[in-house]
A and B are shown apart, each in its own frame.
Chain A
Amino acid sequence: MASFVARSNLAQSEKAPSDATQPIVAISNLRVEFDTDDGPVVGVNDVSFAVRPGETLCVVGESGSGKSVTSLSLMRLVEFGGGRITSGRLNFARQNGATIDLAKADAATMRAIRGNEIGMIFQEPMTSLNPVFTVESQLIDGLMAHKRLNRAAARKRALELLEHVRIPEPERRLKQYPHELSGGMRQRVVIAMAMACEPRLLIADEPTTALDVTIQAEILALIGRLKHENGMAVLFITHDMAVVAQMADRVVVMYRGNIVEEGSVEEIFRAPREDYTRALLAAVPKLGEMRDKPGPEPMRILGAERKAAPSDAPPPRQAPPAKRRPLLEVSHLTTRFPVKGGVLRRTVARVHAVEDVSFTLLTGETMSLVGESGCGKSSCGRSILRLVEPESGKVWLDGADIRSLGAPDLRRARRDMQMIFQDPFASLNSYRRLSDQVAEPLQNFRLASRSEIEDRVATLFDRVELPRSFLRRYPHELSGGQRQRVAIARALAPQPKLIVADESVSALDVSVQAQVLNLLMELQADLGLSFLFISHDMAVVERVSHHIAVMYLGRIVEIGSRRAVFENPRHPYTQALLKAVPIADPSRRHFLDDSSYRPLSSPIFPLNHAPLPSTYEEVEPGHLVLVAA
C-alpha cells in the first residue's frame, strides 16, 4: 500500500513540471452523428473543452444532452453504438509525451490507450463486471495485456489495487465473484480496474447514479482521493447538480448535444450566465433549504411564474389542519418473502422486507417513506395496497380493514388507493392508446358509462396538463415526464383518496421532476389527496412531505413531522443518511472518510427467527425513534 502511493507520487512529481498547463485531453469542435433509418441524427455538435492534469471536469446535462456520447467518443467506443465522429479533434497527450488525435487513431492504438492511459468507470457496477469471472481474473486481465506483467506480478498488483480502493478484506475479495459483493464494493472493484494501469485520464460516466446515497458519498470521496494521490485528470459525467457541486473544479453544461456554458464550479453555481443553467440549478432541491418552513412548498421552476400558483409568494392552498382526519392507519405491518433453496425448492429462509411498521397518514397530507435500496420502503407501499400479501398487521383505509377483504371487495377497495410507479417507460403498456389506459380504471370499476368515459379521460388529461391531442397516441411518442403525467392521470381516474407514489420522480430529469412534483402538490391541494411518497432522495422528500418515516432493514427507525426529522434527527441512521446527501452548493462540500466501512446487514433470516417488536421512544410529541428491535 505505502509503496504504491510512494511510487505514484514519484511518477506524478516527475511529470508535473512539463504538463502542468498542458491539457491531457483537448476536444475541439467535436461532432458525432448517429445513422438511423431516417438519416443521420446529430448526437453532439461543436463540443470543445479541455481537461488538465489534476483537474476534475464535470460534464452535466439532462438525458439526451450528449454528455455520454462525448465521453464515449473520447474512448472511440461511440462507434460500437452506431455513432460516427464526423468532425473535430480529440487531442490526447500520451504517456510518452506525444500528442495524438484520438479521432483519427487506428484500432490498435486505441486498444493500447483504452484501459491503459484512459480508464473508464461505468454507471452500473453490476453489469460492467462479468458475472462468471472472479474479481482477481478481471483485474489481472488488463494488467497482463497492457503492462505485460506475468500472472504472479499481476496478482500482487491486483491486491495492491484493492487495498488502494480500500475494500475490506482484499485477499478474500480477489477470490469472490461479482454477485458476492455489495453494490458499493463492486463499484470499488470497477474503479480498481480503471486505475489498474495508472491512467492519465479517468472517465467516470454517472459512477454513483445507481448507488445508495451513503455509498455514493464514499465512492465520490474515493475518486477525489485517487485523483489527488495520482495526479490524474478526471472527466466526470453526471446529471446530478449536487454531485457536481461536490466534485468539480470546472463544469461544462450541455443541452441537446451542445455546450451551453463552461466555467469554474464557483462561477457556474454563483453566477450562471445562461438561462438554461439557471433553470437547471433552480430546479434542484437543496437539502436544508426547507428549514423553519411550516409545510411543503412547490419546487422552483424558472419561467413558470406566469402560471398562477407555484411561486413562493402565496402559501399553498391546503385544507386547514383542523379538518384533517386519519385516512390510512397501518399497525404492526409485517411482510416477509420466502427464499427458496435446494433441489426441492423448499423455503430455506425469509426476507424480512417489512418488519413491524406502524404509522398514520392524515387526509390531505404527504407521508414519505425514505431509506436506501432494500430497506423495505417499496414493499411497505405494495403491502398496503396488497399488491404483495403482508404476513401480519393491520391496514385501515378510511375505516375499512383492507387486510380482511376478500378478492372482490379488495378490488373495489383499490378504487380508493392508487399507485404511481417509478419507471414511466415500464408502467404503461406500449400496445395501448393513452386514452384507453387512462380509461381502464373507469371501465374496471364501472365508474362511467361508455359515453361519459371519453369526457372523463379528456378532463383528466387537462388536469395533468397534457394536450388532448395526446389522447389517441401511444406511450412511445411521449417523453418520460409526459408519460409520468399519463400514469398520474390513470391513478386519478377512479378518484382515489390515497396515492402511493413509489419513486415516482426518480427516473425523471431534474427540471421535469420539479414539474411533476408541483403537479402532485397542486393535486393534493385541490383534491385533498393523501400521498404515501416513497423515495430515496432526501432533498425531494424535504420539499414535499408533511411527515417522514425513515426505514432501515424493514423497520421504521425514526418517524415524525418533516421538521422534527430533518432539523432534529435522533437515530444514528437518520443522521448518517442526512450527512451523506451531497448538496448542490460548492461552498458546502463535505467529504466523508471513504473507508468508513459499514458491515452489510442483511434482511434475510432463518425460518425460526422471531424478531422482537419495534419499541419507540417519543423524543417530542409525534417524533418517535426506534430504541430496540
Chain B
Amino acid sequence: MKRFITPKGVVGFALIVVIAAVGIAAPLVIPADMATRMTMSLRLKPPGFEHLLGTDQLGRDLLYRVMLGAHTSLLIAGAAVAMSVAFGLPLGIVSGYMGGWTDTALMRLVDTLLSFPALLLALTISAMLGPNIPNTILAIGIAFTPFLARIIRGEALRVAQMPYVEAARAAGANHFWMIVRHVLPNVFPLVIVQATISLAFAILAEAGLSFLGLGTQPPQSSWGLMIQASRDYLDVAPWTALVPGAAVALSVLGLNMFGDVLRDVLDPRSR
C-alpha cells in the first residue's frame, strides 16, 4: 500500500478518480438538453465566461459535452479492453505455455484475425450487429483481442521456459496450477501495461466507428465523436479538437501512470 503513495501513483489515481466520477455523475447531474441544444448564434465561440471551454459548430457547450462524452467513451473503451483481456489472456497463456499443436492452432486463428485491420474488423462486426453501445464494445473488444493474445503468448512462452516452471513440474504441479501460480503472475505486468495502452487506442477506435456512423449515435456525445466533428473547424476553432483531445490525453496519462505504479506494487521485488 505504501508504494502507491508515490507522486506518480497519487497523480495517476487522482486523474482516474476524477474522470471516472465525471463519467458516472455527468448524465445524472447535467440536464440532457444542455449538451444537445443547438444554438446557431453561439457557433464556435472560443472559451470564455459564458462557455468555459467554448462551443462547437452547432453552438453546444463543450464543457457539458466533454463531461457527458466521458461516460460513453470510458464505458466503451473500458469494457472493450476488459473484453479483449478476457479473451486474449487465456488464449495467449494457453498458447505460449502448452506450445506444440495447441500453439500452432490457436495462433493461426489469431493470425487470421490479425490479417484484417482492427478498425475494419470492428466495422464489419458493428455493421453486422447494428450500431449501439453493446455492439460497439463487442466489435472493439474482438478487434483488439489478437494483439493482446500475441503479446501475452510471447511472454508466456518465455516464462514457460524459466527454471521455476520446470522446478514446479518436478514438484508435481499440474497444468492448471502451473498456469495460475507461476505463469499468470509473471505475465501480469505486461498485461497491465498493454491494457492501459489499449485503452487509448480503444477510445480512438470508438471515435472511428462513430465517425462512420457505426458507433455512438448523435446527438449522444462521445470524445471520439467530438474529435471527428472538429475536423472541419481546426483552423477557425482549434478548441473544438483540443477539448476532447485533452480529455483523451489526460485519461490515458492517468491510466498509464496508475498502471505503472500498479505493476510496481504487484512486483514483490520493488517492495
Chain A residues near B (Cβ < 8 Å): 385, 387, 411-412, 414-415, 417-419, 421-423, 426-432, 440-441, 444-445, 474-476, 487, 490, 493-494
- Which residues of chain B have C-beta atoms less than 8 A from A494's C-beta? 171-172
- Partner among B166, B171, B266, B267 whose Cβ is within 8 Å of the Cβ of A490: B171
Partner of B164, one of A422, A426, A441, A445: A426
A476→B174 contact, CB < 8 A: no
Residues of B within 8 A of A419 (CB): 166-167, 170
Contacts of A411 in B (CB 8 A): 172, 174
Given the known inter-chain contacts A444-B177, A476-B268, A476-B269, please indicate yes or no for A428 contacting B164, CB distance below 8 A.
yes
Contact B181 A421 (CB under 8 A): no
Among candidates B164, B171, B268, B271, residue contacting A444 with C-beta atoms closer than 8 Å:
B171
Q: What are 29 A-B contacts with C-beta separation under 8 Å?
A: A385-B170, A387-B166, A412-B172, A414-B170, A415-B172, A421-B163, A421-B166, A421-B167, A423-B163, A426-B164, A427-B164, A429-B164, A429-B181, A429-B185, A429-B186, A430-B267, A430-B268, A431-B185, A431-B186, A432-B185, A440-B168, A440-B173, A444-B171, A444-B173, A444-B174, A445-B172, A493-B171, A494-B171, A494-B172
B172 close to A414 (CB less than 8 A): yes
Measured between alpha carbons, how far is A440 from B180 in the docked complex, in Å? Answer: 13
- B253-271 CB mask vs A (1 if < 8 Å, else 0) is 0000000000000111101
Q: Tell me whether B162 is interfacial, beta carbon within 8 Å.
A: yes
B182 at the interface (CB under 8 A from A): yes
Chain A residues with CB below 8 A from B177, complex form: 444
- In the assembled complex, how far is the CB of residue A414 from the closest CB belonging to chain B, in whole angstroms? 5
In the complex, which residues of chain B have a beta carbon less than 8 angstroms from the beta carbon of A440?
A: 168, 171, 173, 181
Count residues of B near A (Cβ-Cβ below 8 Å).
Answer: 22
In Å, the complex CA distance between A476 and B185 comes to: 15
- Most chain A CB atoms below 10 A, which of B162, B172, B267, B271: B172
Give the residues in chain A near B171, CB-CB below 8 Å: 414, 418, 440-441, 444, 490, 493-494
Q: A415-B172, A419-B170, A444-B172 are in contact. List 4 more A-B contacts (CB 8 A).
A: A418-B171, A487-B167, A493-B171, A494-B171
Q: Considering the chains assembled together, what is the distance between the CA atoms of A379 and B49 in angstroms?
A: 77
Residue B169 interfacial (CB < 8 Å):
yes
Q: Once bound together, how far apart are the Cα atoms of A385 and B167, in whole Å?
A: 11
Kindly list chain A residues whose C-beta atoms are within 8 Å of the C-beta of B185. 429, 431-432
Q: Total number of A-B contacts with CB less than 8 angstroms?
A: 73
Inter-chain CA distance A24–B156, complex, in Å, is 52
Contacting pair A490 B167 (CB below 8 A): yes
Nearest to A446 among chain B residues (CB) is B172
User: What is the 8 Å Cβ interface bit string for chain B, positions 1-22, against chain A (1 contact, 0 not)?
Assistant: 0000000000000000000000
A476 to B270, CA, bound (A): 9
- Name which residue of chain A comes closest to B169, CB basis: A387
Q: Which residues of B contact A476 (CB under 8 A)?
A: 268-269
| B residues less than 8 Å from A385 (CB atoms) | 170
> With a CB–CB cut-off of 8 A, which chain B residues contact A426?
162-164
CA distance A430 to B159 in the complex (A): 12
* One of A412, A427, A430, A431 near B167 (C-beta < 8 A): A427
**Which of B167, B168, B266 is most buried by chain A, counting CB atoms within 10 A of its CB?**
B167
Residues in B lying within 8 Å of A, measured CB to CB: 162-164, 166-174, 177, 181-182, 185-186, 266-269, 271
Min Cβ gap A487→B in Å is 7
Residues of A within 8 A of B172 (CB): 411-412, 414-415, 441, 444-445, 494
Asked whether, in the complex, the Cβ of B268 is within 8 Å of the Cβ of A431, the reply is yes
CB-CB under 8 A from A418, the residues of chain B are 170-171
In the A-B complex, the 10 residue pairs with the closest CB atoms: A474-B268, A431-B185, A444-B172, A441-B171, A427-B163, A476-B269, A426-B163, A429-B164, A419-B170, A421-B163
Contacting residues, chain B, for A429 (C-beta < 8 A): 164, 168, 181-182, 185-186
Which residues of chain A come closer than 8 Å to B267, judged between CB atoms? 430-431
B106 → chain A closest CB, angstroms: 17
Q: How distant is the Cα of A421 from the Cα of B171 in the complex, in angstroms?
A: 12
A493 to chain B: which residues have CB within 8 Å? 171
Which of A444, A445, A474, A476 has most B Cβ within 10 Å?
A: A444
Which residue of A419, A423, A487 has the most chain B CB atoms within 10 A of its CB atom? A419
- Of A421, A429, A441, A474, most buried by chain B (CB within 10 Å of CB) is A429
Alpha-carbon gap, A583 to B167, bound state (A): 34
Q: Nearest Cβ in chain B — how far from A492, in angstroms?
A: 11
Residue of B nearest to A423 (CB): B163
B266 surroundings in chain A (CB, below 8 A): 431
Nearest-Cβ distance from residue B168 to partner chain A, whole angstroms: 6
A601 to chain B, nearest CB (A): 27
* Minimal Cβ-Cβ distance residue in B for A447: B172
Q: In the docked arrangement, what's the CA distance between A430 and B185, Å?
A: 9
Question: Chain A residue with minimal CB distance to B171?
Answer: A441
A387 touching B186 by the CB < 8 A rule?
A: no
Q: Which residues of A contact B186 (CB under 8 A)?
A: 429-431
Distance between Cα atoms of A411 and B182 in the complex (Å): 18
A411 and B173 alpha carbons, distance in the complex (Å): 8
A441 and B170 CA atoms in complex are apart in Å by 9
Distance (whole angstroms) from the CB of A443 to the closest CB of chain B: 8
- How far apart are B161's CB and chain A's nearest CB, in angstroms? 10
**A residues near B170, Cβ cutoff 8 Å:** 385, 387, 414, 417-419
> With a CB–CB cut-off of 8 A, which chain B residues contact A475?
268
Query: What A residues does B164 contact at CB under 8 A?
Result: 426-429
Question: Closest residue to A422 on the B side, CB-wise?
Answer: B163
Shortest Cβ distance from B185 into A: residue: A431
B6 to chain A, nearest CB (A): 10
- B residues less than 8 Å from A421 (CB atoms): 163, 166-167
Closest chain A CB from B19 CB (angstroms): 29
Measured between beta carbons, the chain A residues less than 8 angstroms from B271 are: 474
How far apart sit A89 and B36, CA to CA, in the bound complex (Å)?
74
**Chain A minimum-CB-distance residue to B161:** A426
Residue on A nearest B167 in the bound complex, by CB:
A427
* Complexed CA–CA distance, A475 and B164 (Å): 12
- Give A94 to B151 CA distance when docked, in angstroms: 52
B contact residues around A474 at 8 Å (CB): 268-269, 271
CA distance A487 to B163 in the complex (A): 11
Chain A residues closer than 8 Å to B182, beta-carbon distance: 429, 432
Give A490 to B170 CA distance when docked, in angstroms: 10
Chain B residues near A490 (CB, 8 Å)?
167, 171
Structural contact, A432 and B167, CB atoms closer than 8 A: no
**Max count, chain A CB within 10 A of own CB: residue among B170, B177, B186, B268:** B170
> What's the minimum C-beta distance from B264 to chain A, rounded to whole angstroms?
11
B162: chain A residues within 8 A (beta carbon):
426
- Could you say which residues of chain B place their CB within 8 Å of the CB of A415? 172
Chain B residues closer than 8 Å to A417, beta-carbon distance: 170
B188 to chain A: closest residue by CB: A431
Q: Is A432 a contact of B181 with CB atoms below 8 Å?
A: yes
- Once the chains are docked, how many angstroms separate the CA of A174 from the CA of B173? 50
**How far does the alpha carbon of A421 sit from the alpha carbon of B163 in the complex, in Å?**
7
Cα distance A423–B266 when bound, in Å? 23
User: What is the bound-complex CA distance between A440 and B169, given in angstroms?
Assistant: 10
Q: Which residues of A contact B167 (CB under 8 A)?
A: 419, 421, 427-428, 487, 490
Q: Name the distance in Å between A415's Cβ and chain B's nearest Cβ.
A: 7
B2 to chain A, nearest CB (A): 14
Q: Whole-angstrom distance between the alpha carbons of A124 and B182 in the complex?
A: 30
The answer for the CA separation of A441 and B164 in the assembled complex, in Å, is 13
Complex: A265 Cα to B231 Cα, angstroms: 78
With a cutoff of 8 Å between Cβ atoms, the chain A residues found around residue B174 in the complex are 411, 444
The answer for the CA separation of A561 and B257 in the assembled complex, in Å, is 62
Complex: A431 Cα to B166 Cα, angstroms? 16
How many angstroms between the C-alpha atoms of A417 and B167 in the bound complex?
12
B108 to chain A, nearest CB (A): 14
Once the chains are docked, how many angstroms separate the CA of A256 from the CA of B269? 23
Quote the shortest CB–CB distance from A548 to chain B (angstroms).
24
Report how far A385 CA is from B168 CA in the complex, Å: 13
- Determine the residue in chain B with the shortest Cβ distance to A426: B163
A97 to B145, CA, bound (A): 67
